[in-house]
C-alpha cells in the first residue's frame, strides 16, 4: 500500500501453506525489491499501473506480468488481439491461442501504441527516477522530527523501496486537529471519515457487501498519514513541507 509491502517471505509461506494463489498489486511498487528480488515476481500474476502518480507515467494505463502460459494467452485474448496475437513479440505458443481463441471474450482493453512508446521510454529511466525519489524520501526521513504526536514508520531492512510516498502516524491528536493539518498541508489521511482523493480502505468498497470488520486495521489506518512525493518535487519543496509538519506536530 502506497509503496509499502508486507513481509513477502511470510506472505508466500502463508499462500503455499493454504494453497492460495498470490496476485500482486504493484501499482506503487514498480522497481522495488524484497530481499533483492523484484516485487511483482512473487505472485502468479502481478499488476502494475502506469497512471500519472506511479513510477512509470504514461498518463493512464497499466500492465500485468506472469510466467504462466495459459494466463498470458488468455490475457492477450481478453485484451482484444483478434487474430493478430502472433504480432506479440513475447507470447506463448500459438497452439494455446487456437485452443482458447473462441472461448475468451474480446474486452478491447489493448494498450495503444502511443502509450506503449511512452512506457518504453520511461522504462529506460526508471532507475534514475527511483534514485531521485529515494533521495527525497531520505531527506524527509532525516528531517522529520518524532514527537509525542508524530511517529515515523521504519521500513523493513529486507525491503529495497522506492520512496515515492512517505507514510507516518499522527497519534495522541484530536480528530479535528489531524483533519486541519492534513487539509492545510495537502496530506492524505486514512482516518478521514470523508472520502477524498485516491484514498480508500477495505470497507469503502460497499459493493463488496463486507460483513466483517477489521478493528486492528482500522486502528492503524485511523492514524496513518500519507505524503505523496510527486516526481517533480525538489529537495527544497520537501524540506519546506517537513518544516510545516514539524511545526504542527510539536
Query: What is the sign of the dihedral through the CA atoms of 130, 134, 135 and 136?
Result: positive
**CA pair distance 223, 136, nearest whole angstrom:** 23
Identify the residue among 7, 25, 141, 218 touching ligand PLP (CB under 6 A).
25
Q: Which of 169, 175, 177 is nearest to 149 (CA)?
A: 169
Nearer to ligand PLP, 57 or 130 (CB): 57
Region near ligand PLP per CB under 6 A, out of 25-33, 125-133, 134-142, 237-245:
25-33
Touching ligand PLP, residues 38-67 (CB under 6 A): 49, 51, 62
Q: Which residue has the cell 512517505?
A: 166
Least spacing, CB of residue 98 vs ligand PLP, in Å: 31
Q: Nearer to ligand PLP by C-beta: 43 or 62? A: 62
Q: Where are the beta strands (DSSP E) in 125-196?
A: 150-152, 159-160, 165-170, 188-189
Minimum distance from residue 49 beta carbon to ligand PLP (Å): 3
Looking at the DSSP assignment, which residues form a beta bridge with residue 8?
none
Helix or strand or coil: residue 102? Answer: helix
Please say whether the beta carbons of 55 and 130 come within 8 A. Answer: yes
Q: Which is nearer to ligand PLP, 54 or 74 (CB)?
A: 54
Q: How far is the CB of 168 from ligand PLP (least distance, A)?
A: 18
Q: Residues 13, 198, 213, 217: which binds ligand PLP (CB under 6 A)?
A: 198
Q: Is 147 in the site for ligand PLP (CB under 6 A)?
A: no
Per CB under 6 A, 27 contacts ligand PLP:
yes
With contacts defined by CB under 6 A, name the span among 24-32, 86-94, 95-103, 166-174 that binds ligand PLP: 24-32
Cβ pair 156, 11 in contact under 8 A: no
Q: Is 28 in the site for ligand PLP (CB under 6 A)?
A: yes
- Contact yes or no for 30/58 (Cβ under 8 A): no
Q: How far is the CB of 174 from ligand PLP (least distance, A)?
A: 28
Task: Quote the least distance from Cβ 27 to ligand PLP, whole Å.
Answer: 3
> What is the rounded (10 degree) CA torsion for 8, 225, 122, 82?
70
Residue 172: left (phi > 0), alpha (psi -120 to 50), or beta? left
Asked if 195 and 204 touch (Cβ cutoff 8 Å), the reply is yes
Q: Which is nearer to ligand PLP, 29 or 249 (CB)?
A: 29
Q: Name the one range near ligand PLP by CB under 6 A: 20-28, 105-113, 124-132, 242-250.
A: 20-28
Which residues make up the interface to ligand PLP (CB under 6 A)?
25, 27-28, 49, 51, 62, 198
Amino acid at each position: 500500500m502506497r509503496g509499502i509491502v508486507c513481509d513477502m517471505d511470510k506472505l508466500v509461506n502463508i499462500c503455499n501453506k493454504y494453497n492460495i494463489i498470490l496476485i500482486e498489486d504493484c501499482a506503487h511498487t514498480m522497481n522495488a525489491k524484497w530481499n533483492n528480488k523484484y516485487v511483482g515476481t512473487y505472485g502468479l500474476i502481478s499488476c502494475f499501473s502506469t497512471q500519472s502518480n506511479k513510477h512509470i507515467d504514461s498518463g493512464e494505463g497499466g500492465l500485468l506480468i506472469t510466467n504462466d502460459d495459459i494466463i498470458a494467452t488468455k490475457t492477450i485474448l481478453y485484451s482484444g488481439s483478434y487474430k493478430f496475437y502472433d504480432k506479440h513479440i513475447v507470447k506463448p505458443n500459438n497452439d494455446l491461442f487456437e485452443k482458447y481463441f473462441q472461448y475468451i471474450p474480446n474486452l478491447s482493453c489493448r494498450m495503444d501504441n502511443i502509450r506503449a512508446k511512452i512506457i518504453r521510454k520511461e522504462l529506460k529511466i526508471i532507475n534514475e527516477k527511483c534514485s531521485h525519489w529515494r533521495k527525497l524520501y531520505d531527506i524527509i526521513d532525516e528531517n522529520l522530527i518524532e514527537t509525542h504526536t508524530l511517529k515515523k514508520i521504519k521500513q523493513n531492512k529486507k525491503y529495497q523501496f522506492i520512496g515515492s510516498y512517505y507514510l507516518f502516524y499522527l497519534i495522541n491528536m484530536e480528530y479535528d486537529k489531524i483533519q486541519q493539518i492534513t487539509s492545510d498541508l495537502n496530506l492524505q489521511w486514512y482516518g478521514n471519515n470523508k472520502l477524498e482523493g485516491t484514498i480508500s480502505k477495505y470497507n469503502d468498497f460497499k459493493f463488496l457487501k463486507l460483513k466483517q470488520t477489521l478493528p486492528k486495521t482500522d486502528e492503524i489506518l485511523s492514524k496513518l498519514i500519507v505524503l505523496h512525493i510527486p516526481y517533480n518535487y525538489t529537495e527544497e519543496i520537501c524540506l519546506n513541507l517537513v518544516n510545516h509538519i514539524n511545526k504542527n506536530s510539536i
